[in-house]
């Protein structure tokens, strides 16, 4: 979230699209109700189902799964065509005035530079025009045909309300009502917040779904504002934290990245990531990359990371491709992965195309499952009849199941969706012989290290020299680890502004990442977390719920990254002169000497407005990007059909599916066609269950005991089905059985003149736990992910439904 | 004197308090009518966070026991933290039943091992599990570690063993796992955020 949960109460319009917080985030959703009751805010819900969130909405519009960009592109067109944007904000704080290289064009659904063989773009033409100093050229009048603003206007001309109705199935009048409510916030004193979840991310175009709403929020001037923002409602209690800590195939802590094969030297690795300002006078905060990176290497390798050995740069693995889970499953199925260590992650239930995953796991030599619960993954080799029809005798995988503690049995911190790091305390010992995760990982690593120390082996240096100064070698304590990722000074760090003074003394915990150095005098395991465990102690353990501003900021409750800032980009809540756009919800302001306010300024605090520094300091441009060349499938979001699509062609252009999405050769035939699988399916959660965990807990298992499929009344009539009938749902990947639930919550949509039925599949059942046994829903889902980050397409695919 | 339930309610409803009931002559019933000791009085409270979705609701865990060194605390109740600025004491159906997660019959209690081709778990010691896994990992790493790619560039990666991190484990668990996996050269590594 750019903002936070309580801040939702400050919104005037709340757009829920790509999520269902009333069910999936109920205690956060109460702030939506607060906004409705106290502020007369209007709630708009766009969803394939009439969800519980929709049931309390002021306006609901149906949409076909997988067509969000068509819808949001239509909103962008509405805003631009009707001059309903916050023009001063757009001119000052976005790249709308930036001039694009004229040879980058968009034709027939593709941008310049597409290579169909590799399914990849050569992006060399996707660049700004630059002047003699290397800065981007701009046209402040926004009239140059090659400025981002004009290009965007042209790109979205095709996204008319009629096209939205044809492609999304959203009736035109409902779509226009949504547009009007959204547009009502394009003024300084009104804001809209966007709440979304996996309904937007689990698509082959997921990243561009999010980009689309970011563009809308920028056009309306809602970024950085209290009651505004783009708010990802994360699905699990700490996937925010684990992402912040870089537990992804190509990441390092704090959104640093692993080197690629071509980053042979530290120098080139750093140069490519140390972004120089693209406009005069901009901060471009990633210009500090070397400080963050060197401090990380000092944290991990201590005295073994020296200036002479490039701070142990060669100890880090380099990547030649993204090794995300879809690729790992592909490598497993080719017999190229021998071992899998699954900590608290139910891979068999969570990865797409369960038959492919199961076959891959069966080719492993060893599988190690670390979990508090008996998951399906740990029992993939066991025969559970039709739910998991395998022959254990034929599966040669050695499987270990290691019991771990749960939340109530450990100390530690979780990062909520609002980026709050909240410390929690151990209440009891785990059951039986179960151990905490840090102890299991610590003990395992200590043993591997002992083996390397004794027998040697492949490239042992990074293993032998890893810093490991924990009081109990085999069991690092959470407090020790928290202090380590916060970071400390390894030598006195002099203050460049005050001779004789120091920013930090040797051995001291760091108070902020502003102290970090690139010369090896500071160590920090995760730069964005610096400040969470300072000389004043564990800031994450703070529990003062005072809210002096009344805006729901709670500055002394736990600690938020970065720098305890609660609303990101809050400099953009003020006009270029430093005056808040809306005096009734002031976050920060310029007081004549510096930036001050109710929140921690997201800005260089002593940079006067007259200096012209722009608010989006993480971008080299200084402003936010309406045009974003970093995206795999193009700088502007474009509608592409899901890989399982009911349409023979894309009404917007020649490319049917996302042209840059990766499809493994063996999976090319894994996609369904509408003649065989005529219904559009989507997956989701119920409020009574959490993923595949609560089926192990008695009360939730009683509340929702059995797998079901939601069907429209129209489909039920066509198939002669009634609620309670057992049905078979089939996709190109596999089939499952579940009880039918016939409901008016699912509309029959008309797409390109044809009726299309939407089928709803809750995800919560499996073959272990307290509920009735059920099929894993991912038996049906397709093995393709988003083109940028490979998040699988779980929210839009084709199925058939028949009576069992 | 017999007092029916209805009559008793009438008596109290008409303003006669519980203490004066004894004065009416049925004091042997007083023990039964006594206020039962509040069930959380003897528990210790611990502040925690709900492990499910990302709202980050504050919960209070109630454990039986005074945390004496040799006593094992038994978690008997969980409820929303009324001081928490986001959930203000409320919990959803999942959070309200967290006790059933803590005490789930599916909780794993000791290390188990499934040998190749067999159809059952065998209870094993931590010693056996750690020792065997460490050897399997080292063997696989030593055999398949890629020091240089085809172009001769130093890459130092290990792709033949993959790693997955949890979605609800703490930052501290995540941090140490990240540090260890990269030290081993691991690149096949994701957390639940990927899916």
Spell A22-54 as b/e; 16+ CB within 10 A means b: bbbbbbbbbbbebbbeeeebbbbbbbbbbbbbb
Calculate ∠ Cα A430-A431-A434, nearest 5°: 70
Contacts of A352 in chain B (CB under 8 A): 195
Token pair 């300002």 in the structure block, residue: A277
Which chain B residues are within 8 Å of A526, Cβ to Cβ? 175
- pLDDT of B36: 79
Measured between CB atoms, which of A237, A396, A457 is closest to B116? A396
Would you call B183 and A410 a contact, using CB atoms and an 8 Å cutoff? no
Whether the Cβ atoms of residue A292 and residue A246 lie closer than 8 Å to each other: no
What is the model's pLDDT at position B12? 44
Residue of A nearest to B125 (CA): A433
Q: Which of A318, A410, A459 sits opposite B170 (nearest CB)?
A: A410
Average pLDDT, chain B: 88
Whether chain B has a CB inside 8 Å of the CB on A347: the answer is yes
**C-alpha distance from A348 to closest chain B C-alpha (Å):** 12
pLDDT of residue B39: 86
Confidence of residue B33 (pLDDT cuts 50, 70, 90): low
Distance CA A5, CA A613 (A): 29
Tell me the shortest Cα–Cα distance from B43 to chain A, in angstroms.
11
Enumerate the residues of chain B whose CB falls inside 8 A of the CB of residue A421.
171
Q: Residue A358 in contact with residue A383, Cβ under 8 Å?
A: no
Please state the separation of Cα A68 from the chain's center in Å. Answer: 17
Q: Peptide bond before A562: cis, by omega within 30 degrees of 0? A: yes
- Residues from chain B contacting residue A327 (CB–CB below 8 Å): 188
With 80 as the cut, is the pLDDT of residue B2 above it? no
- Judge whether residue B25 has pLDDT over 70: no
Size of interface A-B (CB pairs under 8 A): 492
A102 Cα to chain B: minimum distance (Å): 36
Check CB contact of B173 with chain A, cutoff 8 Å: yes
The confidence score (pLDDT) of residue B71 equals 85
Q: Is B49 within 8 Å of chain A by CB?
A: yes
Inter-chain touch A414–B49, beta carbons under 8 Å: yes
Pick from B85, B93, B185: CB nearest A700: B93
Nearest to A4 by CA among A566, A429, A539: A566
Nearest CA-CA distance, residue B45 and chain A, Å: 8
The residues, any chain, with a CB within 8 Å of residue A562's CB and separated by 6 or more, are: A513, A528, A531
pLDDT band at B26 (very low <50, low <70, confident <90, very high): low
Interfacial A residues in 495-524 facing B (CB < 8 Å) = none
The predicted-structure confidence for A637-685, as pLDDT tens digits, reads as follows 999 999 999 999 999 999 999 999 999 999 999 999 999 999 999 999 9
Taken as a whole, chain A contains a residue count of: 804
Does the pLDDT of residue B1 top 70, yes or no?
no
| Distances from the Cα of A762 to the Cα of A19, A24, A684, A692, A769, angstroms | 14, 12, 5, 11, 16
Q: Tell whether A335 lies on the interface with B, counting CB pairs under 8 A.
A: no
Task: For residue A700, give how far its alpha carbon lies from the nearest alpha carbon of chain B (Å).
Answer: 7
B70 part of contact set with chain A, CB < 8 Å: no
Judge whether A543 is closer than 8 Å to chain B, CB to CB.
Answer: yes
Nearest 10 degrees: CA dihedral of A220, A226, A229, A232?
A: -160
Residue B15 has pLDDT above 50, yes or no: no
ipTM for the predicted complex comes to 0.97
Can you list the residues of chain A whose pLDDT is less than 50?
A: none
- Could you read off the pLDDT of A39-80 as tens digits, one per residue? 999 999 999 999 999 999 999 999 999 999 999 999 999 999
Contacts of B120 (CB under 8 A, 6+ apart): B114
| pLDDT tens for each residue of B60-75 | 999 998 778 888 899 9
Domains located in chain B, CATH noted: 1-41 (no CATH), 42-107 (3.30.200.210), 110-143 (no CATH), 145-195 (no CATH)
Which residues, 6 or more positions from B70, have their beta carbon under 8 angstroms from its beta carbon? none
CB contact (8 A) between residue B119 and residue A401: no
Percent of chain B scoring above 70 in pLDDT: 83
pLDDT over 90 (residue B158): yes
Residue of B47, B111, B156 with shortest CB distance to A424:
B47
How many Cβ atoms sit within 10 Å of the Cβ of residue A473?
13
Looking at the partner chain, which of A371, A382, A543 has a beta carbon nearest the beta carbon of B119? A382
Residues 468-487, chain A, touching B (beta carbon < 8 A): 476, 478, 481-482, 484-485
Find, in chain B, the residue whose alpha carbon is nearest to that of A30.
B87
Q: Residue B38: what pLDDT?
A: 87
């Amino acid at each position: 979230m750019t903002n936070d949960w309580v801040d939702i109460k400050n919104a005037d319009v709340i757009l829920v699209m790509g999520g269902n917080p009333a069910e999936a985030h109920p205690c956060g959703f109460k702030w939506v109700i607060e906004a409705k009751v106290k502020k007369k805010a209007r709630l708009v819900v766009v969803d394939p189902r009439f969800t519980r969130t929709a049931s309390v909405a002021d306006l609901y519009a149906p949409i076909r799964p997988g067509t969000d960009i068509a819808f949001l592109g239509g909103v962008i067109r509405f805003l631009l065509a009707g001059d309903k944007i916050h023009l001063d904000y757009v001119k000052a704080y976005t790249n709308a005035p930036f001039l694009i290289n004229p040879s980058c064009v968009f034709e027939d659904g593709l941008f310049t530079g597409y290579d169909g063989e590799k399914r990849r773009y050569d992006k060399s033409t996707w660049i700004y025009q630059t002047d003699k100093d290397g800065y981007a050229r701009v046209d402040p009048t926004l009239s140059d045909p090659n400025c981002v603003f004009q290009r965007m206007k042209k790109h979205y001309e095709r996204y008319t309300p009629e096209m939205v109705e044809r492609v999304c199935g959203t009736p035109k009048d409902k779509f226009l009502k949504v547009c009007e409510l959204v547009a009502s916030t394009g003024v300084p004193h009104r804001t809209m917040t966007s709440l979304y979840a996996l309904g937007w991310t689990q698509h082959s175009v997921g990243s561009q779904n999010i980009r689309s709403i970011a563009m809308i929020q920028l056009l309306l001037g809602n970024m950085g504002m209290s009651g505004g923002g783009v708010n990802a409602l994360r699905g699990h209690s700490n996937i925010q934290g684990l992402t912040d800590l870089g537990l992804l195939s190509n990441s390092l802590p704090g959104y640093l990245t692993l080197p690629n094969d071509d980053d042979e030297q530290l120098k080139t690795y750093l140069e490519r990531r140390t972004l120089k300002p693209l406009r005069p006078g901009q901060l471009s905060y990633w210009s500090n990359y070397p400080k963050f990176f060197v401090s990380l290497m000092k944290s991990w390798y201590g005295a073994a990371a020296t200036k002479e050995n490039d701070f142990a740069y060669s100890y880090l693995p380099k990547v030649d491709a993204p090794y995300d889970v879809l690729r790992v499953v592909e490598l497993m199925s080719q017999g190229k992965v021998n071992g899998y260590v699954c900590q608290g992650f139910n891979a068999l239930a969570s990865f797409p195309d369960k038959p492919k995953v199961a076959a891959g796991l069966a080719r492993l030599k060893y599988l190690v499952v670390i979990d508090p619960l008996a998951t399906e993954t740990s029992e993939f080799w066991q025969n559970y009849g039709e739910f998991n029809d395998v022959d254990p005798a034929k599966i040669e995988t050695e499987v270990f199941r290691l019991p771990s503690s749960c939340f109530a049995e450990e100390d530690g911190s979780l990062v909520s969706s609002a980026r709050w790091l909240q410390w929690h305390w151990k209440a009891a010992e785990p059951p039986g012989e179960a151990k905490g995760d840090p102890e299991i990982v610590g003990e395992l690593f200590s043993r591997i290290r002992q083996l390397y120390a004794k027998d040697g082996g492949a490239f042992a240096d990074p293993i032998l020299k890893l810093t490991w100064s924990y009081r109990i070698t085999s069991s690092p304590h959470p407090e020790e680890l928290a202090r380590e990722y916060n970071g400390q000074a390894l030598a006195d760090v002099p203050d460049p502004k005050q001779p004789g003074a120091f920013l930090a003394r040797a051995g001291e915990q760091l108070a902020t990442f502003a102290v970090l150095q690139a010369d090896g005098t500071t160590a920090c395991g995760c730069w964005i977390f610096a400040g969470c465990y300072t000389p004043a102690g564990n800031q994450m353990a703070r529990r003062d719920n005072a809210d002096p501003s009344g805006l729901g900021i709670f500055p002394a409750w736990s600690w938020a990254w970065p720098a305890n800032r609660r609303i990101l980009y809050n400099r953009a809540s003020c006009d270029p002169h430093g005056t808040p756009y809306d005096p009734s919800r002031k976050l920060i302001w310029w007081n004549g000497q510096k930036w001050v306010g109710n929140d921690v300024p997201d800005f260089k605090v002593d940079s006067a407005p007259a200096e012209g520094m722009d608010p989006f300091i993480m971008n080299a441009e200084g402003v936010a990007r309406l045009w974003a060349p970093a995206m795999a499938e193009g700088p502007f979001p474009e509608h592409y059909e899901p890989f399982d699509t009911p349409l023979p062609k894309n009404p917007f252009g020649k490319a049917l599916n996302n042209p840059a999405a990766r499809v493994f050769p063996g999976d090319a035939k894994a996609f369904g066609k509408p003649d065989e699988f005529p219904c559009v399916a989507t997956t989701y959660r119920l409020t009574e269950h959490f993923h595949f965990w609560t089926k192990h807990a008695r009360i939730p298992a009683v509340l929702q005991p059995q797998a079901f499929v939601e069907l429209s009344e129209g489909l039920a009539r066509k198939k002669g089905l009634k609620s309670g009938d057992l049905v078979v749902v089939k996709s190109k990947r596999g089939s499952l059985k579940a009880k039918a639930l016939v409901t008016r919550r699912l509309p029959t949509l008309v797409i390109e003149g044809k009726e299309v039925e939407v089928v709803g599949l809750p995800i919560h059942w499996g073959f272990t736990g307290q509920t009735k046994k059920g099929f894993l829903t991912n038996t049906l889902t397709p093995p393709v992910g988003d083109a940028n980050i490979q998040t699988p397409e779980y929210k839009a695919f084709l199925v058939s439904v028949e009576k069992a | 004197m017999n007092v029916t339930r209805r009559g008793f309610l009438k008596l109290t409803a008409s303003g006669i308090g519980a203490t004066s009931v004894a004065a009416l002559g049925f004091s042997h019933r007083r023990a039964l009518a006594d206020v039962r000791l509040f069930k959380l009085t003897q528990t210790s409270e611990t502040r925690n966070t709900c492990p499910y979705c990302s709202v980050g609701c504050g919960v209070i865990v109630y454990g039986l026991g005074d945390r004496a060194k040799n006593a094992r605390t038994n978690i008997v109740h969980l409820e929303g933290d009324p001081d928490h600025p986001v959930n203000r004491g409320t919990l959803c159906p999942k959070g309200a039943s967290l006790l059933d997660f803590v005490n789930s019959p599916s909780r794993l209690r000791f290390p188990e091992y499934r040998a190749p081709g067999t159809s059952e778990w065998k209870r094993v010691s931590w010693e056996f599990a750690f020792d065997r896994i460490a050897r399997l990992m080292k063997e696989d790493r030593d055999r398949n570690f890629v020091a240089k790619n085809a172009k001769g560039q130093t890459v130092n990666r290990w792709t033949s063993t993959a790693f997955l991190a949890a979605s609800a484990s703490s930052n501290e668990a995540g941090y140490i796992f990240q540090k260890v996996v990269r030290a081993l050269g691991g690149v096949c590594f994701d957390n639940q955020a990927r899916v």
